[in-house]
Chains A and B, each alone.
Chain A
């Protein structure tokens, strides 16, 4: 039983990381109809920036965390304005290829600037455990989960209760009508990319302590994030978060209790989930079924 709770807690921690990155993917997809294949590499890149601030400038962990989020926001915003906006009217495939180009650029830049060696990344949380009723709960796990929870909640409040949040939602729903009431839709999309980049940065900085920092560290996480987003519904922010948590916990439990699924098969299981969901209910658990307007 203790094992069960430990796996659930650990699953919630990894799941919250999936949720953060999945939410980033959903945000961008809702706003611009595009899947940003470079979301993981952007997250990795901003995590390196955090690392530089902590290691080379001796900055406090949390200060670096906050500063990196701001930098990530700027990066996402700038990227949308500079690279994505010029191809706004181009077909979907063009944007897919551009995001693939971004994957190469960010991955290459990370190697170029910091080298490809695997590095340790400090965790802002103590490496201790709490003993609760015979169950050892990792403080790192709880910290990770709570951090993502706080960020997602703040983001939700931002979208629901602020004027810009309203404008952001409107721009994603109906860009033409939004322009008519005076919303600068172009900048709203850029802000959307900035927020997504922030979420990615958080996901990266929370992943790095466990998997260690190297240019390829986010590639598997990105795939899990795809699985979470597809599972929850690629247009549903709530679905992304729920999907991420379900995936994290589910994979842990399957790995523990189902015999032939060893650690090596976690990724294929996630991929299988993507396929099955897409074939059975493409709009995911919480998404609205896609209706084709005639």
Chain B
């Protein structure tokens, strides 16, 4: 049974229909990518899952429907959504950002901070720094670290490469890969940079105008020249 399943999900922003019936599935321990051009509905897909946008259709997490849950409730189920633009609390310190990440958990956070510091060593030395003064790459890593603080069962990553240099992007995807291997973290990642997403993910869906146009194992999609040229832009 898939950890996450979307069946015919539709979503609108006012009169504009952003998703016109999307179906996908993510197995436990998988990294799945959602690709497509701007405006294809990738971000909206993640927002539907986390409950940030109103949607119709069925979304099943762990076999149970999410219903009309809002973001606060979905977060408590163990779904950590790292939104477009990171969503860091720029006016707060690194440490406070991490604490907020662990909001749904009780008890001492020291272990968790140590744990995320293993993946992002620089964090332990800059706990009191203002999050807004971090570089773009560091903010992305902080957003990721914050998501990890809640021991999520599933990570929703929205365009982690946005605004970042290629080297930094690689580093971030490397860490995501490591998290997936070492801790079995299930990841659903939305990306415009299809190439790097396909390297890391095992399965991918390509969205076009709010629907799934093509899907399949990453190697197949990456090898298919037609798919690459028509949908992935390379």
Say whether A247 faces chain B, with CB atoms less than 8 Å apart. no
Stretch from B84-92, B110-118, B196-204 forming part of the interface with A: B84-92
> In residues 49-77 of chain B, which contact A (Cβ within 8 Å)?
50, 52, 70-72, 75-76
Residues of A within 8 A of B146 (CB): 181
Closest to B102 in A: A181
Query: Lowest 8 CB-CB distances: which A-B pairs, in order?
Result: A177-B87, A182-B75, A179-B71, A182-B104, A182-B103, A180-B81, A181-B103, A184-B72
A174 to B76, CA, bound (A): 19
A176 CB contact (under 8 Å) in B83, B90, B92: B83
The reply to whether A179 and B101 contact each other, CB–CB distance below 8 Å, is: no
Q: A181-B104, A181-B150, A182-B103 are in contact. Are A176 and B52 (CB under 8 A)?
A: yes
Asked whether A179 lies within 8 Å of B89 as measured between CB atoms, the reply is no
Indicate if A54 sits at the interface (CB-CB under 8 A).
no
How far apart are the CA atoms of A173 and B97 in the complex, in Å?
A: 12
23 pairs from A and B in contact (CB 8 Å cutoff): A163-B99, A166-B99, A170-B89, A170-B100, A173-B89, A176-B52, A176-B71, A176-B83, A177-B83, A177-B87, A177-B88, A178-B100, A179-B75, A180-B50, A180-B71, A180-B80, A181-B101, A181-B103, A181-B104, A182-B72, A182-B75, A183-B72, A183-B100
| CB of B96 closer than 8 Å to a CB of A | yes
Q: Which residue of B lies closest to A185 (CB)?
A: B72
A22 in contact (CB, < 8 A): no
Across the interface, A182 reaches (CB within 8 A) one of B52, B76, B83, B91, namely B76
Contact assessment for B87 and A166 in the assembled complex, using a CB-CB cutoff below 8 Å = no
- B100 contact set on A, CB distance < 8 A: 166-167, 170, 178, 181, 183
**A177 and B89: CB pair below 8 A?**
yes
Assembled-state Cα–Cα distance A183/B91 (Å): 17
Q: Of all chain B residues, which has the CB nearest A167?
A: B103
The binding surface of chain A is classed by DSSP as helix
B139 to chain A, nearest CB (A): 12
Would you call B96 and A180 a contact (CB within 8 A)? no
Chain A CB count within 10 A is highest, among B70, B72, B81, for: B72
CA A147 to CA B51, docked complex, whole Å: 44
Chain A nearest CB from B126 CB (Å) reads 19
Q: Which residue of A lies closest to B77 (CB)?
A: A182
Least distance between A276 CB and chain B CB atoms (Å) = 28
Q: Bound state CA distance, A163 and B108, in angstroms?
A: 12
CB neighbours (8 Å) of A176 from chain B are 52, 71, 83, 87
Q: Report the bound CA distance from A148 to B80 in whole Å.
A: 41
Q: How far is the CA of A185 from the CA of B101 in the complex (A)?
A: 15
Q: Are the C-beta atoms of B96 and A166 separated by less than 8 Å?
A: yes
Q: Looking across the interface, which residue of chain B has its beta carbon closest to that of A178? A: B100
Bound Cα distance A183, B50 (Å) = 13
Given contacts A181-B150, A182-B76, A185-B72, 14 further A-B contacts (CB under 8 A): A166-B99, A170-B89, A173-B89, A173-B90, A173-B91, A174-B87, A176-B83, A176-B87, A179-B70, A181-B75, A181-B104, A182-B104, A183-B72, A183-B100
Across the interface, name the chain B residue whose C-beta is closest to A186: B72
Per-position 1/0 for A146-162, Cβ under 8 A of B: 00000000000000000
Chain B residues, CB < 8 A from A166? 96, 99-100
Given contacts A166-B99, A166-B100, whether A179 and B72 have CB atoms under 8 Å apart is yes
A95 to chain B, nearest CB (A): 22
A181 contacts across to B, CB distance below 8 A:
75, 80, 100-101, 103-104, 146, 150
Q: Residue on B with the closest CB to A169?
A: B92
Asked if residues A173 and B92 are in contact (CB atoms below 8 Å), the reply is: yes
* Shortest Cβ distance from A187 into B: residue: B72
- Complex Cα–Cα for A180 and B92 (A): 16
